[in-house]
Amino acid sequence: MLTGRPVFEHESPLMVPSLHTEAAPEPLRRLWPDVPEDIESLVLELLAKKSGDRPAYAGEVYRRLAAHLPEPGNPQGALVPWAEADPCRPFRFPMAPDARPVRQWAREADGAR
C-alpha cells in the first residue's frame, strides 16, 4: 500500500508464489525515500519469511505505528454522539489486543470507575 504496487511482481503469474516464499522484498526507502527508517524496518519485519522474525502481536505493531499518528485527541470526546467525527480515532484508540474497552473510557469520563 505504501508504494502503490505489489511487493512481488513477475511476468509469469506462476512465479509470484515462489517469490513470496524465497525472494527478499525491495527495501521501502529505495522505492519511496521519504519513508521514515522505523517504518521501513517495521514493513520489512512484517514481510519476514520466518514467523519468529515478524512482530509477535498486533499491539507491538500498533505501538510502533502510533508515533506517526497526529497528536492524540480526547478519547472521551469521541464517545459523545454530537462530537465532531475524528477519522483518526480508530488508530489513536484501537480496539486492539492491548486496548482498553470503550466503556471504560466512558466510565472514566463520567468520573465513575
Question: What is the C-alpha to C-alpha distance for residues 13 and 101, in angstroms, rounded to an integer?
Answer: 44
Question: What is the C-alpha to C-alpha distance for residues 51 and 112, in angstroms, rounded to an integer?
Answer: 42
43: left (phi > 0), else alpha (psi -120 to 50), else beta? alpha
Percent of the chain clearing pLDDT 70 (strictly above): 61
- Quick: pLDDT tens for 55-64: 988 888 888 8
- Quick: pLDDT tens for 37-54: 999 999 999 999 999 999
Cβ proximity of 5 and 38 under 8 Å: no
**CA neighbours within 13 Å on the CB side: how many for 47?**
19
**98 or 24, higher pLDDT:** 24
| Longest Cα–Cα distance in the chain | 61
